Amino acid sequence: MPERLFKHKVKILFVTIFIFLLIAVRVFENQLFYDPFLAYFKDQYGSTPLPDFAALKLFFALSARYFLNAFFSLGIIYIIFKDFDLTKFAALLYLFFFIVLIAGFFIVVYRFPENKMAVFYIRRFLIQPIFLLLFLPGFYFQLKSKK
């Protein structure tokens, strides 16, 4: 087992670096991104209306955070699987889910502001690298089932 880890030390190092970059996005979220919903969802949001926000500024902040997380996640996927076609497929999935989620987020915020849990969960998929946690086992299973 130790020989196996030693053999893949560069792979482990780069995956670890990308994981730390994902963590850094989370740690410095207040300094890097405009998001009035960060403070809103930390408080007692059940009885208060959604916060005021600048829609365009929020769109760009959510987009920047999503694509930063997606970039680091794609790096992890490429390093683990060493398959450029799989990484391109994952990138297309990230793009598709971004379009669906960002549209859904703003539709819910403007049309159904009373549905705060939908806002919370859609936003969570936009700002956290949740897709990485879904894609890694899915791609692994898919590759193993082909063999």
**Which pLDDT band holds residue 1 (cuts at 50, 70, 90)?**
low
- Nearest Cα to Cα of residue 29 among 131, 127, 132: 127
Q: Quote the tokens at residue 147.
A: 């063999």
Amino acid 2: pLDDT = 67
**Half-sphere exposure of residue 108, counting CA atoms within 13 Å on the CB side?**
17
Amino acid 43: pLDDT = 79
Distance separating alpha carbons of residues 103 and 115, to the nearest angstrom: 15
**Which pLDDT band holds residue 78 (cuts at 50, 70, 90)?**
very high
